[in-house]
Structure 1
Amino acid sequence: MNCRDEEGFIIRNAEGIEVWKDCECLVERQAERLIKSSKITPEFARKSFDNFKLENRPQIVRDAHYAAKHYFNNFAEIRNDRKNSMALLGVPGVGKTHLLMAISNALIKKGTSCSYFPWVETFNDLKDDFDLLEQKVNYMQKVDVLYIDDLFKGRKTPTEFQLEQLFAIINYRYLNNKPILISSEKDIEEICEIDMGLGSRIYEMCKDYTVLLTGDLSLNYRLAE
């Protein structure tokens, strides 16, 4: 039966009582809404585990792919634990963003809200729209999963404003066992050198799912194409 875009319809159950039945399209419509609110671009929305290229890739990249799929498959069991997050760290061009975006897209399809937080662009947006700062930070604190891409990219040293807002976000999620996904060219030690409070919280949250990708230019798929 077609719900005619109302996401459900009334039927009679075995006892003859009218009850509401969700349409099969409900999950799909919810996923569409979650994608729109996630700030994930159409290009990134197409990232998946299946279209991640593994052919002729180094073993460390294959390990990262395996760890990302393992994290997604176990998400329902660990999402309310302290160690419920994932970090892919290391050299650029190895597919860190693709894999974490694949996790985000797969979670959204299952009805989990995710927000994409590209480090440089998001803080430019926060500064440009300062009146909505509290509202935006509050959303990033409370969304089901927060994906921070390219953490600490750009400036050699983050500004006090960036560290203050980031700590407010990470600390809230740390205290409330809300998952984060993080990609960064810096490892945990380097993140701790920038801010020990942030680094130690990220380490504890991502401890079971942290992959450090190190190596030479052969790891960079962009240079290999």
Structure 2
Amino acid sequence: MDVWKDCECKDQRRIDRAFDSSKITWEFQKKTFDNFSLGNRPEAVRDAYHCARDYKVRFPKLLISRHNSIALLGRPGSGKTHLLMAVSNELMSQGYKVLYFPWVEGFSEIKDDLSMTEERTRRMQEVDVLYIDDMFKGREKLTPFQLEVAFAVINHRYMEKKPILVSSERDIDQICDLDEGLGSRINEMCKNYLVLLKGGKEFNYRLSND
């Protein structure tokens, strides 16, 4: 019994460390599939929900595949961040290390301390699961530096078969217009779990009267 309790404690400490190192805020750690509201949401949002749940369930078997990643692309306010946070939280509860990289804030932090660029890039390359949220978001024009870091990270993970979770308002064609090498790698990694959420304001839960 004591051995069993010791194992349980070690497992819990490993899970706690995964959450602590993820850079996922306490508020985002509350995002689950159970508290994602489907309500009268469009069919594409339901598709994204089921896609994310299926990905979470099948994740351990996907690790050996090149197609081991997921991308939810399209309209703002459609629940992309919530669903991929739910995936992240489930994976961390299983002991996987997840690193959350919100595109705008993440690059702002890197710009504030360029001496840490190599270390931050290495961590994004090596962590078990990398979640890039709102990829290519921002009012300012995309910089060569951002593309260089993004390609270094995605290409490394592509070659090493390390999964990524990606949310973006851009679709694959638009990402390829920015950098075809980057877009084609994301497409191949996520091809079995890729949902495009296209439509009008009805997709944005923040504008809903429900």
1:96-118 per-residue CA deviation (whole Å, 9 max, x = no partner) reads: 00000100000000000000000
**Aligned-pair RMSD on alpha carbons?**
1.4
Where does structure 1 differ by over 6 angstroms across 4 or more consecutive aligned residues?
none
Q: CA deviation at 1:25?
A: 2.8
Q: What letter corresponds to residue 33 of structure 2 in structure 1? A: F
Given the alignment, which residue of 43, 57, 79 partners 2:27? 43
Q: Is the 8 A contact 1:27 1:109 kept in 2?
A: no
What corresponds to 2:116 in structure 1? 132
TM-score normalised by structure 1 residue count:
0.89
TM-score normalised by structure 2 residue count:
0.96
What corresponds to 1:116 in structure 2? 100
- Say whether residues 1:180 and 2:185 are aligned partners: no
Q: How is 1:67-216 mapped onto 2 (pairs within 5 angstroms)?
A: 67-155=51-139, 157-216=141-200
SS class of match (2:8): coil
Q: Is the 8 A contact 1:83 1:206 kept in 2?
A: yes
1:134-161 per-residue CA deviation (whole Å, 9 max, x = no partner) reads: 1111000000000000000014531011
Higher Cα Rg: structure 1 or 2? 1
What corresponds to 1:55 in structure 2? 39
The range that moved more, 104-113 or 56-65, is: 56-65
Unaligned runs of 5+ in 2: none
Q: Which has the higher contact order (CA 8 A, sep 6+)?
A: 2
- Normalized per residue, which structure has more helix? 2
- Say whether residues 1:34 and 2:18 are aligned partners: yes
1:57-101 per-residue CA deviation (whole Å, 9 max, x = no partner) reads: 111111110000000101000112100000000000010000001
1:12-69 per-residue CA deviation (whole Å, 9 max, x = no partner) reads: xxxxxxxx97432322221111111000000000001110001221111111100000
Identity level (%): 57
SS class of match (1:65): helix
- Separation in 2 of the partners of 1:130 and 1:29? 32
- Say whether residues 1:222 and 2:206 are aligned partners: yes
- Separation in 1 of the partners of 2:60 and 2:203? 31
* Number of residues of Structure 1 aligned to a counterpart in Structure 2: 209
- Separation in 1 of the partners of 2:164 and 2:7? 31
1:191-221 per-residue CA deviation (whole Å, 9 max, x = no partner) reads: 0000001000000000000000011111111
Q: CA deviation at 1:183?
A: 0.3
- Separation in 2 of the partners of 1:25 and 1:52? 30
